[in-house]
Amino acid sequence: MKSSLFVISGAALAFVAIVHAQSGRSYGPSRVWWESGQGGILPWEEDYDDPEGIVGILNERGAVHTDEHPFFQALGTNKRACITCHQPANAMSLSAAVIAKRWEETEGKDPLFAAIDGSNCPSLPQDARESHSLLLERGLFRIALPWPPKDVRPDFKIEVVQDPTGCNTSREFGLKSAKPAISVFRRPRLAANLKYLTSEGVGEAHGIRLMADGREPSLRSQAITAVLGHEQATAPPTAEQLRQIVAFERQIFVAQSADMRGGLLTENDGPSILGPNNVSQGKNGVLFEKVSYAGWQGPGRLQDGLQKDFRDSVVRGGDVFFRRPFSLEGRAGATCATCHNQNSGTAWMNIGTTNQASADLPLFRVTCDSGKVILTQDPGRGLISGKCADVGSIVLQQFRGLAARAPYFSNGSAKTLRQVIDYYDERYKIGYTEAEKADLANFLKVL
């Protein structure tokens, strides 16, 4: 027993040593959890272990001095900064595993768990672990949105059917409070690779929109809301602070950079879009476009069996993603890429993820003027547009660094990439074979 344990940990260490030797480094990152206001330098390039291998970040404009930097410094009253919820080690998002670890390390005292949106509802006893269960178990923050939206006449009514957090029926925070609001619970999205989603200057969004409901028109407006909301500031950030935040977000890139089985993903003659460096240099569309894996199949490469098997599986997984057809609501010949493609023209869609009722999430009954009734735990885009047709629609996320930031979907309902694939397989009756599912998961893991 003892000796077999030794063998396993020995193998794991050997892997780490190999990857570090291949990348020309003998050291790991100096820190994993980045605290607001800790100061110091975020290097030009940095690698972090994740459950599948290594995720890498790259700052295109060089190392970032964080001491006075508004992305890294708390600008409000609760000691949080942007970095609190957008951690380099988690692909500039936050994994539920890291959140739970942070709770243990700080006995729930980290600013991450601030009552405002790091708990199920600010009115709950904040010392109790259960009051933060949605954040700890699903990685979800509370997003409170005014209802009805400003200057919009909605074409549906909304009622609270189930309210496990108490926040939607609360006299202080709920739908019938002095400032009527709907609380939904969502995953943080990547504050990276944003050069491809936004324009220069204020960072106006194009193609894929910002936030699960597309409510922020630009990185600038998003940062103002984040400082006043998540950071509970009493005044908006200055023009100079906003400029620095937007400039930082548009020059930081993340992607998986090594895989436990596939080895380095950043070799010079490897696939041209893997790894943070390739992402930073890529053209528009790099977040979803077909990947060429030609470099992996070339001659003269030393590959042991495991590495070659894994890389072949990734190549096949790419084919499943881009080519394996299934029928999408009656239309034959769809693939994953039908929707996950920057030029698909639609930023938000309802794929049923928000219609799954769950005992720990709120549930709303939406009654449209047409008479249609929808049950949903997050009306998504409908909360912004006020349109029945948008109820339950969520803005597609970018796919980078997936291995470093489980769980998935805006409501964190898929714990693993395999669960994401099973969700689609069931919903669209795709009929993937076990081999296709494994290949598809491997493809997603190396992005």
Q: Minimum Å distance from CB 435 to ligand HEC?
A: 15
Q: Is 349 in the site for ligand HEC (CB under 6 A)?
A: yes
Between CA 277 and CA 233 the distance in angstroms is: 35
Paired tokens of 96: 């539920």
- Our finding on whether 410 is near ligand HEC (CB under 6 A) is yes
**Of the ranges 39-47, 147-155, 224-232, 359-367, which one interacts with ligand HEC (CB under 6 A)?**
224-232
Pick from 98, 227, 374, 391 the residue near ligand HEC by CB under 6 A: 227
Residues 351-390 vs ligand HEC: string with x where CB under 6 A?
A: x-x-------------------------------------
Tell me: does residue 144 bind ligand HEC (CB under 6 A): no
Selected from 293, 409, 436, 439, the binder of ligand HEC by CB under 6 A is 409
The residue type found at 75 is L
Both ends of the chain: CA-CA distance in Å? Answer: 36
Site string for ligand HEC, 305-334 (x = CB under 6 A): -----------------------x-----x
Whether omega before 180 lies within 30 degrees of 0, making that bond cis, reads no
Any contact of residue 242 with ligand HEC (CB under 6 A)?
A: no
Binding residue for ligand HEC, selected from 339, 368, 375, 389, defined by CB under 6 A:
339
Interface with ligand HEC by CB under 6 A: which range of 186-194, 306-314, 357-365, 382-390?
186-194
Buried b (16+ CB within 10 A) or exposed e, 375-405: ebbbbbbbbbbbebebbbbbbbbbbbbbbbb
Q: Cβ of residue 71: shortest distance to ligand HEC, in angstroms?
A: 6
Note whether 255 and 232 are within 8 A (CB): no
Cis peptide before 325 (omega within 30 of 0): no
Binders of ligand HEC among 111-140, rule CB under 6 A? 117-118
**Residue 74 in contact with ligand HEC, rule: CB under 6 A:** no
Print the binding letters for residues 197-216 with ligand HEC: x by CB under 6 A, - otherwise.
-------------xxxx---
- For residue 43, give the amino acid letter: P
Map the footprint of ligand HEC across residues 2-61, applying CB under 6 A: none
Tell me whether residue 264 or residue 379 sits nearer to ligand HEC (CB atom).
379
Return d(Cα 230, Cα 143) in angstroms, integer.
9
Beta carbon nearer to ligand HEC, 83 or 264: 83
- 86 scored as a contact of ligand HEC (CB under 6 A): yes
d(CA 131, CA 125): 7
Is the Cβ of residue 183 or residue 278 nearer to ligand HEC in the bound state? 183
Q: Amino acid identity, residue 335?
A: T
# residues contacting ligand HEC (CB under 6 A): 47
Distance CA 97, CA 136 (A): 8
Residue showing tokens 């404009």: 61
Q: Does 421 bind ligand HEC (CB under 6 A)?
A: yes
428 close to 328: Cβ distance less than 8 angstroms: yes
Q: What is the CA radius of gyration of the chain?
A: 22
Contact 87, 94 (CB under 8 A): yes
Tokens of 168: 């939607």
Interacting residue with ligand HEC among 42, 57, 223, 314 (CB under 6 A): 223
List 388, 440, 446, 447, residue binding ligand HEC (CB under 6 A): 440
Nearer to ligand HEC, 54 or 384 (CB): 384
Say whether residue 92 binds ligand HEC (CB under 6 A).
Answer: no
Query: What is the Cα–Cα distance from 117 to 181, expressed in whole angstroms?
Result: 14
State how far the Cα of 242 lies from the Cα of 247, in Å rounded to an integer.
8
- Work out the widest C-alpha separation in the chain, in whole angstroms: 70
| Number of other CB atoms surrounding residue 303 within 10 Å | 15
Return residues touching ligand HEC (CB under 6 A): 80, 82, 84-86, 117-118, 141, 143, 186, 188-191, 210-213, 219, 222-223, 226-227, 230-231, 245, 249, 328, 334, 336, 338-340, 349, 351, 353, 394, 396-397, 408-410, 420-421, 424, 440, 444
